[in-house]
């Protein structure tokens, strides 16, 4: 796989998680107690032997930059290749700032990087999927089919609601793509795109230049769909767990799925680790009145209250007499004594003074924006 | 402080035989401590926070684990272009080659290494103490006093003073007498094994000591008494705070328990003085339905189905359903089977205790595994062992082999 380079499109304009993504790109969304969504695709690429990884983004990318840094946690701080942070491409001479937002625009902005890289293939991926996979199988499939483009998909028959918010492929018996629908009202198949594409680098450069010249913006609709008959586009199925974060509800549900023994083990305890930024936090301390059940607790916490069925990030305090149920509490939030929280997503560095009560619903959790003080 | 002002040398070659089975394959400084650290992390982190970025780690006994752990030094920000951390094992020279004969000889054999940096001062540290200390204050003190050597001292209870190297100092802090483990101590200022030397002076004494075939080439036994005898300016630098030599099973257990005391006798959580370590790549720990945990410290990658009381669990520990772990320290990767009872034990890396075993069973008075290194009811289980189902051991047992 070291003849393949990776491009991660860290921003996806169709995905908004209200207050949670107001302050950060989707890929920088905290997940699973100590990770950010970007960690999954970055680790998957590195675990596949990809050592040239470009990261494009558009808005509010400081938290993403801060998180990935020079790429050390993923072993991407290298003399040759490594991690390339590719901020939005803004031309001085034109009013067109480049922030029109489509995937073609993002890729056009990184053409120089694509031209300079020597790798034969490119793997393009988004930054909002929770999965643990390598790309060796897809790459082999791409070669065997002598495909122009290989797209990776997952069977989403168990989540028809979310299926409608994805790109769906229609396939022939050989898994060649014969139809593409974006956000279909009535999906013809459950083959949901994982927004991952493998193709030759030179082909990608040609496609992007052509699409940009025609004023196109979207890689799926304007490039893949319009060239469906002229290109050999094949689809490779990924069979493992895929958690797609595309709105608050799916963020909450996929977070809670990490409490499932089998899914958690597949994602975190397999042969390929998920890497993330290290914070050198102390182990979590439990006091004499602590009571915790069915929860993931990161390091650096101080737990004196009750935590049930929740995800607690690094450096969180849960005071005596407080109860946290079915909730996600992000880094460095302080929950004082005797609070009662249920189905709440609390962003980083919030403070809840004593005796606060917040009750959301599992399908409609309450969101506390970053640094809220109640 | 400029990096070349001071080079730190950490003595990390000792076996630490009193830690029994915990140090059969690793040197004492590499022994896990406090839930996610190794003992040497404290000295290394102290150096970095004190502005010392040139550190030599002297290894000899079972260095493999320590070498791998230190690696390029990046967990401590010691992967520098100039300076950084260097692992210094004994090496073969053109004429001869020998093991480090003593603490002073270890520094003597690395004089060329220190000279490369041309430092004013050399800081000598032990790799087996638990404490947080700002060495730069001690170096300033050394400069102010115009000392040739400064020795960090801590007040110890009078009744324990005869276990330490005891300093007697005048009102200016100048050392007038030094006694190694005196039967009748004249002071309760104990040497912490932390020394600042003016490098040219130390060099002279190291060479002199090397020429004496009867010397045991030790700082406490030879260098310090020689310097004192020759009237060099030796000062005692008083340190206040937590400091613990974790040389025995009991002191190692106690120092760990100090972290989870309420309030903690030793607080590691300090954002201005973080203790750095090589962090595992593991998810947050999972507390299952029906699990219970009180008065404990637990870190990443643990999966807890049982009941944890007043214990410290390192990364990736699994505790099965119905199991009770109390007053214990479980090293990385330990697996405790269902319905086990673990009472006052230290269990080495990756050891598997199968279902329904009991460690520290009070009803067994004279366990044949009872060992002289174990005291205060503490049991010791080696690393990499498999204890098969239903075994019971009495207190103070030391297990070296799979059973």
- Alpha-carbon span B98 to B328, nearest angstrom: 40
Looking at the structure, do residues A201 and A336 belong to the same domain, yes or no?
no
In A226-374, which residue ranges form alpha helices assigned H by DSSP? Answer: 248-257, 261-268
Residue B296's Cβ-count burial label (10 Å; 0-12, 13-18, 19+) is buried
| Inter-chain touch A280–B282, beta carbons under 8 Å | no
Residue B369's Cβ-count burial label (10 Å; 0-12, 13-18, 19+) is middle
Region A104-108 average pLDDT? 86
pLDDT category of residue A121 using cuts at 50, 70 and 90: very high
Q: Which of A214, A240, A268 is the last residue of a domain?
A: A268
Question: CB of A260 within 8 Å of any CB in chain B?
Answer: no
pLDDT > 90 in chain B, percent: 68
| Inter-chain touch B281–A274, beta carbons under 8 Å | yes
* Type and span of the H or E element at A324: strand A323-325
Looking at the structure, do residues A295 and A232 belong to the same domain, yes or no?
no
Neighbours of B160 (CB within 10 A): 11
CATH classification of the domain holding A294: 2.160.10.10
Looking at the structure, do residues A20 and A137 belong to the same domain, yes or no?
yes
pLDDT attached to residue B90: 83
Pairing of strands B129-131, B165-169: unpaired
| Inter-chain touch B284–A297, beta carbons under 8 Å | yes
pLDDT category of residue A99 using cuts at 50, 70 and 90: low
In a domain, A19, yes or no: yes
- Alpha-carbon span B213 to B199, nearest angstrom: 23
Looking at the structure, do residues A75 and A139 belong to the same domain, yes or no?
yes
User: Which tokens hold the place of B190?
Assistant: 């104990």
pLDDT category of residue B234 using cuts at 50, 70 and 90: very high
- Determine the distance in angstroms separating the CA of A76 from the nearest CA of chain B, rounded to an integer: 14
> Are A297 and A305 in contact, with CB atoms under 8 Å apart?
no
In a domain, A273, yes or no: no
Neighbours of B290 (CB within 10 A): 13
Query: For residue A371, which phi and psi values (nearest 5 degrees)?
Result: 60, 25
> Are A234 and A142 in contact, with CB atoms under 8 Å apart?
yes
Q: Report whether pLDDT(A260) > 90.
A: yes
Q: Which of A268, A293, A311 is the last residue of a domain?
A: A268
In a domain, A245, yes or no: yes
Looking at the structure, do residues A313 and A341 belong to the same domain, yes or no?
yes
Q: Which of A268, A293, A309 is the last residue of a domain?
A: A268
Looking at the structure, do residues A64 and A207 belong to the same domain, yes or no?
yes
**Count: domains in chain A:** 2
pLDDT attached to residue B181: 85
Looking at the structure, do residues A262 and A309 belong to the same domain, yes or no?
no
Q: Report whether pLDDT(A41) > 60.
A: yes
Find all residues with CB under 8 Å of B370, minimum gap 6, and list them.
B394, B395, B396, B397, B398
Restricting to B residues 70-89, those with a Cβ less than 8 Å away from any Cβ of A are: 74-75
What ranges make up the beta strands (E) of A45-175? Answer: 52-56, 82-86, 121-126, 129-130, 149-155, 167-171
Looking at the structure, do residues A230 and A315 belong to the same domain, yes or no?
no
Looking at the structure, do residues A359 and A227 belong to the same domain, yes or no?
no
In a domain, A355, yes or no: yes
Q: Report whether pLDDT(A98) > 50.
A: no
Region B75-83 average pLDDT? 87
pLDDT attached to residue B367: 83
Region B18-44 average pLDDT? 92
> Are B397 and B371 in contact, with CB atoms under 8 Å apart?
yes
In a domain, A275, yes or no: no
- Determine the distance in angstroms separating the CA of B149 from the nearest CA of chain A, rounded to an integer: 34
Region B272-288 average pLDDT? 94
Question: CB of B261 within 8 Å of any CB in chain A?
Answer: no
Looking at the structure, do residues A338 and A220 belong to the same domain, yes or no?
no
| Inter-chain touch A296–B298, beta carbons under 8 Å | no
Interface contacts A/B by beta carbons within 8 Å: 108
Q: Which of B260, B281, B290 sits opposite A293 (nearest CB)?
A: B290
> Are B373 and B380 in contact, with CB atoms under 8 Å apart?
yes
Looking at the structure, do residues A45 and A189 belong to the same domain, yes or no?
yes
| Inter-chain touch B283–A284, beta carbons under 8 Å | no
Neighbours of B95 (CB within 10 A): 5
- Provide the domain limits for residue A326: 285-368
CATH classification of the domain holding A198: 3.90.550.10
Q: Report whether pLDDT(A31) > 50.
A: yes
In a domain, A277, yes or no: no
Q: Which residue of B has its CA nearest to A282?
A: B269
Would you call B196 helix, strand, or coil by DSSP?
strand
Restricting to B residues 33-72, those with a Cβ less than 8 Å away from any Cβ of A are: 34-36
pLDDT attached to residue A92: 55
pLDDT category of residue A96 using cuts at 50, 70 and 90: low
pLDDT tens digit sequence for B297-350: 999 999 999 999 999 999 999 999 999 999 999 999 999 999 999 999 999 999
Looking at the structure, do residues A84 and A213 belong to the same domain, yes or no?
yes
Region B163-192 average pLDDT? 90
Q: Which residue of B has its CA nearest to A289?
A: B294
Question: CB of A311 within 8 Å of any CB in chain B?
Answer: yes
Residues pairing with B265 in the sheet: none
In a domain, A274, yes or no: no
């Amino acid at each position: 796989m070291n003849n393949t380079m990776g491009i991660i499109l860290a921003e996806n304009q169709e995905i908004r998680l209200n207050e949670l993504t107001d302050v950060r790109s989707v890929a920088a969304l905290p997940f699973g107690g100590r990770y950010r969504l970007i960690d999954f695709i970055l680790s998957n690429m590195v675990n596949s032997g990809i050592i040239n990884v470009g990261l494009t983004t558009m808005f509010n990318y400081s938290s993403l930059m801060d998180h990935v840094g020079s790429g050390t946690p993923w072993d991407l701080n290298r003399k040759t290749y490594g991690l390339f942070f590719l901020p939005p491409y803004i031309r001085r001479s034109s009013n067109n700032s480049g922030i029109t937002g489509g995937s073609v625009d993002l890729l056009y902005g990184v053409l120089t990087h694509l031209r300079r890289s020597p790798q034969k293939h490119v793997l393009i991926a988004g930054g909002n999927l929770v999965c643990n996979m390598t790309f060796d199988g897809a790459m082999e499939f791409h070669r065997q089919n002598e495909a122009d483009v290989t797209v990776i998909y997952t069977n989403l028959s168990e989540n028809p609601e979310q299926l409608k918010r994805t790109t769906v492929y229609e396939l022939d018996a050989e898994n060649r793509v014969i139809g593409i629908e974006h956000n279909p009202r009535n999906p013809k198949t459950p083959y949901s795109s994982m927004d991952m594409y493998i193709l030759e680098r030179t082909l990608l450069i040609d496609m992007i230049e052509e699409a940009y010249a025609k004023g196109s913006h979207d890689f799926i609709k304007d490039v893949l769909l319009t060239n469906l008959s002229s290109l050999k586009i094949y689809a490779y199925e990924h069979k493992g767990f895929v958690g797609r974060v595309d709105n608050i509800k799916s963020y909450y549900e996929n977070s809670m799925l990490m409490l499932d023994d089998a899914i958690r083990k597949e994602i975190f305890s397999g042969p390929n680790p998920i890497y993330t930024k290290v914070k050198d936090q102390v182990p979590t301390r439990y006091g004499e009145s602590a009571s915790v059940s069915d929860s993931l607790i990161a390091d650096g916490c101080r737990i004196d209250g009750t935590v049930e069925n929740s995800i607690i990030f690094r450096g969180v305090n849960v005071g005596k007499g407080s109860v946290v149920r079915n909730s996600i509490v992000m880094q460095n939030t302080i929950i004082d004594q005797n609070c009662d929280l249920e189905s709440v997503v609390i962003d980083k560095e919030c403070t809840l003074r004593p005796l606060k009560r917040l009750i959301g619903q599992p399908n409609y959790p309450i969101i506390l924006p970053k640094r809220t003080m109640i | 402080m400029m990096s070349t002002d001071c080079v730190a040398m950490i003595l990390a070659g000792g076996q630490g035989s009193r830690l029994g089975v915990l140090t059969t394959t690793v040197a004492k400084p590499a022994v896990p401590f406090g839930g996610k650290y190794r003992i040497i992390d404290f000295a290394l982190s102290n150096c970095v926070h004190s502005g010392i970025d040139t550190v030599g780690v002297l290894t000899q006994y079972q260095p493999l684990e320590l070498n791998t752990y230190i690696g390029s030094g990046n967990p401590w920000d010691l992967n520098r272009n100039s300076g950084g951390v260097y692992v210094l094992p004994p090496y073969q020279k053109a004429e001869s080659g020998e093991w480090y004969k003593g603490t002073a000889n270890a520094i003597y054999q690395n004089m060329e290494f220190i000279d490369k940096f041309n430092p004013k001062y050399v800081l000598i540290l032990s790799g087996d103490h638990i404490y947080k200390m700002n060495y730069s204050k001690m170096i300033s003190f050394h400069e102010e006093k115009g000392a040739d050597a400064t020795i960090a001292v801590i007040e110890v209870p009078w009744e324990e003073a005869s276990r330490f190297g005891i300093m007697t100092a005048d009102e200016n802090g100048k050392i007038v007498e030094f006694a190694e483990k005196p039967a009748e101590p004249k002071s309760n200022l104990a040497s912490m094994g932390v020394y600042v030397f003016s490098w040219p002076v130390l060099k002279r004494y190291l060479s002199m000591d090397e020429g004496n075939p009867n010397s045991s080439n030790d700082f406490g036994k030879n260098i310090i008494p020689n310097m004192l005898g020759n009237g060099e300016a030796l000062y005692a630098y008083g340190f206040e705070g937590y400091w613990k030599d974790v040389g025995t099973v009991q002191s190692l257990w106690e120092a760990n328990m100090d972290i989870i005391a309420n309030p903690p006798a030793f607080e590691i959580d300090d954002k201005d003085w973080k203790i750095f370590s090589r962090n595992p790549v593991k998810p947050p720990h999972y507390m299952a339905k029906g699990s219970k945990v009180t008065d404990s410290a637990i870190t990443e990658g643990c999966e807890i189905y049982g009941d944890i009381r007043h214990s410290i669990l390192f990364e990736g520990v699994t505790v099965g359903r119905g199991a009770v772990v109390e007053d214990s320290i479980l090293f990385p990767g330990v697996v405790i089977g269902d319905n086990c009872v673990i009472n006052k034990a230290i269990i080495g890396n990756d050891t598997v205790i199968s279902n329904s075993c009991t460690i520290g069973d009070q009803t067994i008075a004279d366990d044949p595994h009872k060992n002289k290194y174990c005291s205060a009811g503490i049991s010791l289980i080696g690393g990499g062992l498999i204890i098969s189902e239903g075994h019971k051991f009495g207190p103070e047992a030391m297990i070296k082999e799979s059973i």
